[in-house]
Amino acid sequence: MNDGISSQRVLAARVLAVIADAVQLGLMPLFSEGALSPANDILDGVMAVAMVALLGWHWAFVPTIVAEMIPFADLFPTWTGAVLFVTRSSGSMPITTIATPIEGTPPVALPAPPRDERKR
């Protein structure tokens, strides 16, 4: 795969996302309270850490985490949607690391610009 995200990581992230969304839907009474549900908080925390570990930081994870806090919104497959969005191009999302303007802060990962195939 390109830019460090292997096909195994993409597959693992997609499988984990589908499992997390299936658990939230299948065990709806435990997760229906959104941010007030301890089970929801634990699952979403684990998923957020796992997705960043597997795919790197991506802005698509922010609305997913927010939506997971809203009661009944977590019944929509938000993790699956976010992971498919992040990994949408050729099995993985190219990541480009840029320098940060403030010394001591971690670098920010941004999507690489799309390649124009016509320029070859």
pLDDT in tens, 56-68: 988 889 988 888 8
Which has more confidence, 8 or 35?
8
pTM: 0.64
**In this predicted structure, what is the pLDDT of residue 118?**
61
Task: Read off the pLDDT of each residue in 3-31 and give the average, rounded to a whole number.
Answer: 83
Residue of higher predicted confidence among 37 and 19: 19
Q: Give the per-residue SS3 of the chain.
A: CCCCCCHHHHHHHHHHHHHHHHHHHHCHHHHCCHHHCHHHHHHHHHHHHHHHHHHCCCCCHHHHHHHHHCCCHHHCCHHHHHHHHHCCCCCCCCEEEECCCCCCCCCEEEECCCCCHHHC
Task: List the domain boundaries for the chain.
Answer: 7-94
